[in-house]
Structure formats: structure tokens, C-alpha cells
Amino acid sequence: MMAGIGPANTRPEMMVRRGLHALGYRYRLHDRRLPGQPDLVFPGRRAVIFIHGCFWHGHDCGLFRWPATRPEFWRTKISGNITRDARVRSRLAAMEWRVLDVWECSLRGRERLPPGEVLAACTTFLEGCETFSSIGVDGTVVGPGLA
């Protein structure tokens, strides 16, 4: 089941893409020339947006739950994803790109925000000069074996 989940064109990603496009923003998708292949790339603004799935990126929210089966595998996998995300963010910052993380829980689940609020936060980031921002709680799970 998990193997069938692709890294691109997820429902949360499509919601953000359609909303920003309707607001007049134009972007590139999954630019392989940049670290981490960001979901949305705004070259003229030197900004990228990552739409992170809460499970795969170990987000500390109500949508994340450690799997009961193969706990060692999952802790290694998710901690590796968290480490990679931090490394990618640092590399992009060193290249003078601004980074916005949009967490899945801000678009679905109990903690979701109204779509207009998420898009407004995206536009505020794109029009501003912040080097990093996060829509949704900016935090990952910390447990045994994770730092």
C-alpha cells in the first residue's frame, strides 16, 4: 500500500498549486536542478515551496502516528527523511533561495486551516523577504533514536 504513494501531484500539493495559479502566480514544478526537487519553484522570487506529508516527514501533529509494525525500519526511514529535509533546507539557504514548508495537516484533518488562509500565507511569504517559513506547526517528532 505505502509503495503506491507517489512523491508528486498529491492532493495537498494540487490544492496549493491550483490556488496559487488562480491568484496569478506562475511556477516550475519539481526542478531537478535544485536540492530536494521542491514542489513549486518561483525563480524570479528565489523562493520554493515544499508541501510535506505529515507521515513521511515526521511532523509533530495529529496526522502522524508511528506504525506498530516494523518500528525500527520506520524510525530509521522517518528520521532519515527529517535529516534530509534539514540538509536540503540548508543547501537551499546557502544558494540564497527562500523556503516555505506547507504541512499536510494545514490542508486536511482536524487542524486544517481554511484554504484561503493557507493561500494567503503562501502569498505573504512569496511577496515578503523571509528566508524560511512554515504553514502548520514547525516541528518534527522526536523520539528514541531521533534527534
Q: In the prediction, which pLDDT does 5 show?
A: 55
- pLDDT tens across 82-105, in order? 999 999 999 999 999 999 999 999
**Residue 116 Cα distances to 10, 48, 52, angstroms:** 19, 19, 19
CA-CA-CA-CA torsion sign (78, 83, 87, 89):
positive
Question: Distance from first CA to last CA of the chain, Å, rounded?
Answer: 28
Q: Check: CB of residue 51 under 8 Å from CB of residue 13.
A: yes
Cell of 107: 490542508
Domain ranges of the chain: 9-135
Q: Which residues pair with 134 in a beta bridge?
A: 101
* Global confidence as pTM: 0.89
Give the whole-angstrom CA distance, residue 145 versus residue 147: 7
Q: pLDDT higher for 57 or 111?
A: 57
- CATH number for region 9-135: 3.40.960.10
Please report, as a single letter, which amino acid is at residue 147: A
Give the whole-angstrom CA distance, residue 59 versus residue 67: 14
Q: In the prediction, which pLDDT does 145 show?
A: 46
